[in-house]
């Protein structure tokens, strides 16, 4: 796997990365994004393997949202390649195969939960029963006929999530879905993510809370638009010799060298992995 800080890596590395990404839901290579005159992503390369929960962790301003926007095709990209489910990011066909939840709940406050969901369902062209399915899945049935503007922040976030679940997308890109939630709801939500992954959905979940790393199958640790780590939770902790991700993050910064071990390295027996077998 290439060292992401080296934007001009020679072709052999890229080749290796392409193999690592062969079963991947998302492959990014040498991605450059400029926002407001500043380089937000500067030669980022990574792969998100299919059927797993991949945590995208990093402090605020590290480029997580920009990366997610690039994956769903909402971001103007200066250079580099991103492939999502085998297609260039932003392809027309991907618009129904990828679900995206922005950080801020992007739903209509002046419509009820059900009206919101059924509008997005029609836009997607999903079957009629899908609205009830996602409302139940996100536990919104008790408030289904209330205006979204009258709900709590956590409930509004779930409406936004429910809309993204419509049509059962193969890839879910969730930008800080648990921010501001009480611990009980947060655990529930991670339980739901786990169920979705068990059903074969790939989830890319961002967070700035390092604690949440433990619930992911793999981690992408980001800082200043570059990767600090692309590894399993176990792997990151082993490499840095700690037992919490926050300290691991700090040690990786001190070390000055990222921990980039693609899925293939790992399968060749480099080190153990999280409880779930990757598909």
Partner 1 sequence: MTPARTLATTGRVLGQIRHDHRTIALLLVVPSLLIGLVAWIFVDTDVFADIGPAMIALFPFIVMFLVTSIATLRERRSGTLERLLAMPLGKGDFILGYALAFGLLAVAQTAIVVSFAVWVCGLEIEGSIWLLFAVAVADALLGTALGLLASAFARTEFQVVQFMPLIVFPQILLGGIFIPRDQLPAGLEEISDWLPLSYAIDALQAVAADSESTEWIMVRILAIAAWIVGSIVVGSITLRRRTP
Stretch that binds partner 1, among 1-9, 87-95, 198-206, 210-218 (CB under 8 A): 87-95
Nearer to partner 1 by Cβ, of 7 and 147: the residue is: 147
d(CA 39, CA 78): 10
Contact partners, residue 140, CB within 8 Å, separation at least 6: 113, 155, 158, 159, 162
Q: Is residue 79 involved in binding partner 1 (CB under 8 A)? A: no
What number of chain residues touch partner 1 (CB under 8 A)? 32
CA nearest to 113, candidates 134, 152, 144? 144
The reply to whether 72 sits near partner 1 by the rule CB under 8 A is yes
Pick one of 124, 179, 181, 185: the residue that binds partner 1 (CB under 8 A).
Answer: 124
CA 172 to chain CA centroid, Å, is 7
Closest CA to 225 of 8, 70, 33, 25: 33
If one asks whether residue 125 binds partner 1 (CB under 8 A), the answer comes out as: yes
> Is position 13 an interface residue for partner 1 (rule: CB under 8 A)?
no
- Alpha-carbon span 78 to 62, nearest angstrom: 18
The whole-angstrom separation of Cα 7 and Cα 197 is 32
> 92, 128, 184, 275: which one contacts partner 1 (CB under 8 A)?
92
- Contact between 120 and partner 1 per CB under 8 A: yes
Stretch touching partner 1 by CB under 8 A, among 49-57, 104-112, 136-144, 210-218: 104-112
Is residue 129 at the binding interface for partner 1, with CB under 8 A as the rule? no
Stretch that binds partner 1, among 13-21, 29-37, 55-63, 211-219 (CB under 8 A): 29-37
Helix 153-165, helix 130-137: angle, nearest 10: 140
* Interatomic CA distance for residues 87 and 97, integer angstroms: 11
For partner 1, the binding residues in 148-167 under the rule CB under 8 A are: 163
- Using the rule CB under 8 A, is 168 a contact of partner 1? no
Distance CA 94, CA 25 (A): 12
> Which residues here bind partner 1, judged by CB under 8 A?
34-36, 72-77, 90, 92, 95-96, 98, 100, 102, 104-108, 110-111, 115, 119-120, 122-125, 147, 163
């Amino acid at each position: 796997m290439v060292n992401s800080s080296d934007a001009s890596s020679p072709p052999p590395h890229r080749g290796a990365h392409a193999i690592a990404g062969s079963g991947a839901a998302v492959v990014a290579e040498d991605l450059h994004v400029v926002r407001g005159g500043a380089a937000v992503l500067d030669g980022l390369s990574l792969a998100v393997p299919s059927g797993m929960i991949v945590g995208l962790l990093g402090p605020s301003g590290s480029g997580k949202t920009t990366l997610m926007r690039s994956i769903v095709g909402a971001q103007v990209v200066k250079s580099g390649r991103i492939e999502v489910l085998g297609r260039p990011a932003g392809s027309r066909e991907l618009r129904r195969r990828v679900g995206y939840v922005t950080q801020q709940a992007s739903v209509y406050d002046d419509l009820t939960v059900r009206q919101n969901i059924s509008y997005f369902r029609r836009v997607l062209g999903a079957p009629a029963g899908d609205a009830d399915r996602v409302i139940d899945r996100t536990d919104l049935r008790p408030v289904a006929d209330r205006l979204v503007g009258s709900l709590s922040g956590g409930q509004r976030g779930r409406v936004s999530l429910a809309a993204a679940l419509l049509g059962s997308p193969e890839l879910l890109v969730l930008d800080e879905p648990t921010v501001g939630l009480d611990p009980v709801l947060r655990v529930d939500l991670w339980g739901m993510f786990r169920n979705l992954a068990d059903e074969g959905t790939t989830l890319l979940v961002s967070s700035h809370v390092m604690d949440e790393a433990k619930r992911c199958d793999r981690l992408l640790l980001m800082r200043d638009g570059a990767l600090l780590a692309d590894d399993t939770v176990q792997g990151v902790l082993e490499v840095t010799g700690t037992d919490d991700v926050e300290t691991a993050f700090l040690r990786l910064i001190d070390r000055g060298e990222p921990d980039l071990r693609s899925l293939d390295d790992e399968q060749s027996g480099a080190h153990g992995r999280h409880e779930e077998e990757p598909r």
